[in-house]
Amino acid sequence: MNEFLNKLTAIVGPAHVQTNGDLTKFEEDWRKRAKGKALAVVSPGTTEEVSLVIKACLQERVSIVPQGGNTSMVVGSIPNNTGTQVLLSLQRMNKVRAIDAANLTMSVESGCVLQQVQQCAEKEGYLFPLSLGSQGSCTIGGNLSTNAGGTQVVRYGNARELCLGLEVVTATGEIWHGLTGLRKDNTGYDLKNLYIGSEGTLGIITAATLKLYPLPAAKLTAWASVKTIQQAVELLGLAHKMLGPALSGFEMMGQFALSLVNKHFPQMNVPLWRENPYCILLEASDNESESHAREQFEGLMQKAIESEIISDAVIAESLSQAKALWLIRENITMAQATEGLNIKHDISLPVSKIAAFVDETDSKITQKIQGAQIVNFGHLGDGNLHYNVQAPQGVDSKTFLQKYEHDINTLVYDNVIKYAGSISAEHGVGSLKVDTLKDYKDPTALALMRSIKKALDPHNIMNPGRVINEL
């Protein structure tokens, strides 16, 4: 093994192969649901170095776990506990390679932090719309590998829709130069979209060409209170009708989720949360003008109040007020983490079925476990709920998970399938859902996925055990 480590050191330099010291930030899942042990943490600085590292690993049949910001929600980016895997950190590959203004594209290395990409685009007068609560730490490579969603999907799509080209180091160490900025290219199988969403199981994304948009002339944000999910869905329908493509965010937050933000971040002043079971955060982005946007937006809120869809609402009067509202939404995850462990379900459903799903699942869970607390929030505009379940008050969260996680997952996922949904909307599969997926995914689709994995990673060295196992 020493010879192998020496080889890696010769490729990336001694400062970039870590075997000793505190490697917790690479080896532990941020939610502290799992901790692994890497043979080494290797941090290449160029695509060529990635290629050589993969070739060296392949020769020794050492498996590789790619890692960006290690913000995975599904335990997908840490090594297992055998001490035999190379943790490949892409964080040093953080250069913006080019901006092509006329083509509305930007090419960046995969270790670029999402926020850095957003800021760089903005400095040039453009918008890169992908937005997640983790944007200060997650990387473009991680975003594409998980096909991340976030809060602007209703208008701009998931990470997949924002990417035109990729540079990839394959599982055999070849470099695929697919960094195109073309919006049309029908020359065969869509390789880019195989790698996007593959969670590091097929190859390493080293760079990407991303779509840019003009910065909107105005953004308007409102926070509304509704009595039922059905009303939230009606508000969404009205927003689509009255705002058209200007609708850029539609987030739903249950009362219990907001109570956690209120408890752990009291300085955030959560509005209207005590009034009704749900609040909605709504955003419109307009390319015309502030006055046009405001007129349209106020018209929508007026109509929603008149039709008694919403009970009450506030419209942000300044950029800082809008930011403060978004901060509340983005901090639900951290408020939950501060409260303790919880059972996360990142699910998607047809919007038309969400109300029935929530009514039925809420009552099944509370019948099964008296006092169980449901942290329900998410990207309602995309039909994506974070339907998380927390221990009854006073019950230790770890003990609760040990006792009920499996049963609650079965209950929730069975209902998701009953309502024609998916058990992973935006976070991916990782290790956390790999066994569950077998029970819920179409068997033919799973067989095709296995064939793709075998074809692209014949020696199963790329993030083995994630997404699909039992090859």
Binding residues for ligand FAD, rule: CB under 6 A, are: 30, 65-73, 76-77, 90, 110, 132-134, 138-139, 141-143, 145-146, 148-150, 199-200, 204-205, 333, 426-427, 463, 466
Report residue 215 as tokens: 């910065």
State how far the Cα of 146 lies from the Cα of 155, in Å rounded to an integer.
Answer: 19
CB of 332 to ligand 2HG, least distance (A): 6
Annotate 174-226 with DSSP letters as a single string. -EEEE----S---SSS-HHHHHTTSTTSSEEEEEEEEE-EEPPSEEEEEEEEE
Residue 90 interacts with, from ligand FAD, ligand 2HG, none (CB under 5-8 Å by kind) = ligand FAD
Give Cβ neighbours of residue 338 (< 8 Å, ≥ 6 apart): 260, 264
Shortest Å, Cβ 275 to ligand 2HG: 22
Least distance to ligand 2HG, CB of residue 203, Å = 25
3-state helix, strand, coil in the chain (%, to 5): 40, 20, 35
Q: Confirm if 69 and 20 have CB atoms less than 8 A apart.
A: no
| Cβ at position 171, least distance to ligand FAD in Å | 11
The answer to whether residues 428 and 439 touch, using CB atoms and an 8 Å cutoff, is: no
Q: Considering the complex, what minimum distance in angstroms separates the CB of residue 380 from ligand FAD?
A: 13
Binding status of residue 376 toward ligand 2HG by CB under 6 A: no
- Residue 361 CB, nearest approach to ligand FAD (Å): 21
Nearest partner of 119 among 215, 248, 35, judged by Cα: 215
Q: Tokens 């008149």 sit at which residue?
A: 306
Picked from ligand 2HG, ligand FAD, none, the partner binding residue 77 (CB below 5 to 8 A depending on kind) is ligand FAD
Dump the DSSP string for 378-415: EEGGGTEEEEEEEPPTTS-HHHHHHHHHHHHHHHHHHH
Q: State the binding partner of 199 from ligand 2HG, ligand FAD, none, CB within 5 to 8 A by kind.
A: ligand FAD
Task: Give the nearer residue to ligand FAD in terms of CB position, either 132 or 284.
Answer: 132
> What separation in angstroms does the CA of 376 have from each of 156, 258, 270, 334, 347?
24, 10, 16, 14, 11
CB-closest chain residue to ligand 2HG: 333
Residues within window 296-335 making contact with ligand 2HG, judged by CB under 6 A? 332-333
Nearer to ligand 2HG, 114 or 218 (CB): 114
CB-nearer residue toward ligand FAD: 2 or 24: 24
Which lies closer to ligand FAD via its Cβ, residue 72 or residue 388?
72
Region of 175 (left: φ > 0; alpha: ψ -120 to 50; beta: rest) is beta
Q: Which residues contact 92 (CB under 8 A, 6 or more apart)?
A: 16, 43, 44, 45, 111
Contact flag: residue 133 with ligand 2HG (CB under 6 A)? yes
The arrangement of strands across the sheet holding 38-42 comes to 17-18, 38-42, 85-89, 64-67
Q: Is 388 in the site for ligand 2HG (CB under 6 A)?
A: yes
Determine the Cα–Cα distance for residues 191 and 177; give it in Å rounded to an integer: 11
Find the residue with minimal CB distance to ligand FAD.
142
Residue 69 interacts, among ligand 2HG, ligand FAD, none and using kind-specific CB cut-offs from 5 to 8 Å, with ligand FAD
User: CB of residue 82 vs ligand FAD: minimum separation in angstroms?
Assistant: 16
Would you count residue 67 as binding ligand 2HG (CB under 6 A)? Answer: no
Q: Residue from 155, 211, 386, 466 that binds ligand 2HG (CB under 6 A)?
A: 386
CB of 197 to ligand 2HG, least distance (A): 15
List residues near ligand 2HG by CB under 6 A: 133, 332-333, 336, 344, 378, 386, 388
